[in-house]
Homo-oligomer: A and B are copies of this chain.
Amino acid sequence: METGFNEGAMLQAMEREGLRRTRPRQALVAQVAAWGREGVDFTADGLWRAVRRQAPDVGRATVFRTIETLTSLGLLDRISFADGAERYHASVPGAHHHHLTCDICHRVVNIEVCVPDDKLRDVARRAGFTLSGHQVELFGRCARCQAQA
């Protein structure tokens, strides 16, 4: 089963863009891929702290720059919370899916629920809009956090 949350595949995707395979980028991608496999998401700062355990001199700026790169390559999804917080999680490029996020531990599950395409377009057309994108985010409490409460 192909998960896509695989360090090598992600680095290859970067290489294809002419980006260099550097030590900080490898460490960051490894962490992102690991978390992707566990279905865990993270903040920029969390990623920095985690990566520093293995590569202590990776700078904060590099983390932001790499997150930006990965996001625009479609390897990372950005989730914006209503309170303005931003979190990220590894993404299978090209797959159409949305997210279900735990309010407590921020575990993220990809879900296939979506509004049917024709309905989306219909609503947009009625408002005189040309649709460019959409997002569906569900929030709740995962089994583990539910049990602990």
Query: Which positions in A face B, CB cutoff 8 Å?
Result: 78, 80-82, 84, 86, 100, 102-103, 109, 111-115, 119-120, 123-124, 127-143, 146
Contacts and interface: CB of A to CB of B under 8 A. Distances in A.
Contact of A132 (B78, B112, B140): B140
A141 B133 CA distance: 10
Nearest to A80: B80
B131 A139 contact: yes
Contacts of A141: 129-130, 132
Nearest to A109: B127
Count of identical protomers in the assembly: 2
A129 B136 contact: no
Contacts of A146: 128-130
Interface centre among A100, A114, A140 (most CB of B within 10 A): A140
Contacts of A80: 80-82, 84
Contacts of A131: 138-140
B130 A140 contact: yes
Contacts of A119: 113
B140 A129 contact: yes
B136 A124 contact: no
